[in-house]
Amino acid sequence: MKPRIREFRFSLYMLRRNKVALAGLAIVAFFIFIGVFGSYIAPYSYRSINLEEKFKPPSATHLFGTDDLGRDIFSRVLYGAFFSLKAGIMALLMSAPIGCLLGAFAGYYSGKIGEIIMRIVDIFMAFPALLLAMAIAAALGPSLENATLAIGLVWWPYYVRLTYSQALSLRERMYVEAARSMGASDRYTVFRHVLPNSFAPIITKVTMDLGVVIGTIAGLSFLGFGAQPPLPEWGRMVSEGRIYILSAWWEVSFPGIMVFLVVLGFSLFGDALRDLLDPKTRRMMEVRRWKKTLS
């Protein structure tokens, strides 16, 4: 256990030194916090209409102002975090595991079957994800759930590719050893080794994708194929507030900023995670002193 603890403490050390990564982690943590507890913090319900109070600029009672129906934007933004978080996680839960399994399979049975699977993936990847998601969401009836489903259906090819290349490179390594020692339990060994060893890039990608997926769902909602009123999804809020942009800029700005922060946060954190988990960069940090010693 000792070496593992040492590794973990080294990870913390690396994280601490990278201020940008810390910022990303802070944003992500903040987002998850309001996603989970938002509904308890919010001063108003996201539905409460109060026509007396419409179009109020940001103030003490309404931190982010009110929208065209008098609803408190701050509360809506907080609730929106919950919806976005849920949608993002669901979409990735749908696409990542299936994609990874398929990729691992394709990598293991590399050769004819692997090639065929990868060609099919190529075909699916040729279609712009957004377009497909729009079509699917529209066909099923625009709603946040269907938009999430649509993204889930469209996102898996990336994971197949990732796991496939991981499996291939690992297979090269394992092949020689397996041929020498075990021979039997070949398949089981691959599954016990391929997937765990691919974890690092997969987790990195999932982290970064969470932000992107949330952004894409917001985009879908913006176009009208996702969340429908009165759901306080950030993308939806931006499109609803667009008409009043000149008179009530707050309705559009705050939800938009939130989407930006979330995507940025996951992006930064994912980047840092990648440097952390990649054995090459880790070694580089440790061996830095020797690297600079020339002959």
Partner 1 sequence: MNIGRYIIRRILLGIVVLFGVVTLTFVVSRILPVDPVYAWIGAYGKERPYFIELMMAKYHLREPLWIQYFYYLGDTLTGNFGVSPISGHEISYDLSFRFPATFELTMVSLLVTMIAGILLGVISAIRKDTVIDHVVRTLALGVTAVPIFWFGIALQLIFSANLGWFPLTNQSDVTWTRITGFLFVDTLITGNVNAFLDGLRHIVLPALTVSACSIGIVARMTRASMLEVLNEDFVTMARSKGLPETAVVFRHVFRNAAIPPITVLGWTFASLLQGAIITETIFAWPGLGTYATSSIYQIDFPAVMAVTILAAINVVIVNLLTDLAALWADPRTRGT
Partner 2 sequence: MEEDSFLTVRDLKTQFFTYEGTVQALDGVNFQVKENEAVGLVGETGCGKSVTALSILRLVRPPGYIVAGEILYKKENLLSKTEQEMRTIRGKGISMVFQDPTNCLNPVMKVGDQISELFIHHQKSSKSEARKETLELMENLDLPDARRLYGQYPHEFSGGMRQRIMLAIALGLRPGLVIFDEPTTNLDVTTQAEILEYIKQLEEKYEMASIWITHNLGIVANMCDRVAVMYAGSVVEVGGVSKVLLNPAHPYTQMLQKCVPRLNQEKKRLEVISGTVPDLTNPPKGCRFHPRCPLAMEKCKTERPGQMEIGREHLVACWLHGK
Nearest Cα residue to 202 out of 55, 101, 113, 116: 101
Provide, rounded to whole angstroms, the least separation between the CB of residue 260 and partner 1.
5
By the rule CB under 8 A, 131 interacts with partner 1: yes
One of 36, 139, 285, 287 touching partner 1 (CB under 8 A): 139
Tell me how long the chain is. Answer: 295
Provide, rounded to whole angstroms, the least separation between the CB of residue 157 and partner 1.
12
The DSSP letter of residue 292 is: T
- Of the candidate spans 10-18, 134-142, 168-176, 182-190, the one that interacts with partner 1 by CB under 8 A turns out to be 134-142
Binding mask 273-292 for partner 2 (x = CB under 8 A): ---------------xx--x
One of 80, 233, 235, 248 touching partner 1 (CB under 8 A): 235
d(C-alpha 80, C-alpha 112), whole Å? 46
CB 84, CB 227: distance < 8 Å: no
Nearer to partner 2, 40 or 290 (CB): 290
By the rule CB under 8 A, 263 interacts with partner 1: yes
Helix (H, G, I), strand (E, B) or coil at 72: strand
Which listed option, partner 2, partner 1, none, makes contact with residue 119 (CB within 5 to 8 Å by class)? partner 1
Which listed option, partner 1, partner 2, none, makes contact with residue 292 (CB within 5 to 8 Å by class)? partner 2
CB 56, CB 44: distance < 8 Å: no
Q: How many residues bind partner 2 (CB under 8 A)?
A: 6
d(C-alpha 62, C-alpha 65), whole Å? 5
Nearer to partner 1, 53 or 240 (CB): 240
By the rule CB under 8 A, 181 interacts with partner 2: no
By the rule CB under 8 A, 4 interacts with partner 2: no
Which listed option, partner 2, partner 1, none, makes contact with residue 123 (CB within 5 to 8 Å by class)? partner 1
Nearest Cα residue to 152 out of 106, 86, 70, 200: 86
Nearer to partner 2, 17 or 173 (CB): 17
Q: How many residues bind partner 1 (CB under 8 A)?
A: 43
Q: What is the DSSP string of 129-198?
A: HHHHHHHHHHHH-S-HHHHHHHHHHHHHHHHHHHHHHHHHHHHHHHHHHHHHTT-SSHHHHHHHHHHHHH
d(C-alpha 166, C-alpha 197), whole Å? 8
Q: Residue 169 is encoded by which pair of tokens?
A: 């490179």
Within residues 102-121, the interface with partner 1 by CB under 8 A covers 119-120
By the rule CB under 8 A, 14 interacts with partner 2: no
Instruction: Summarize as ranges the residues that interact with partner 2 (CB under 8 A).
Output: 288-289, 292-295
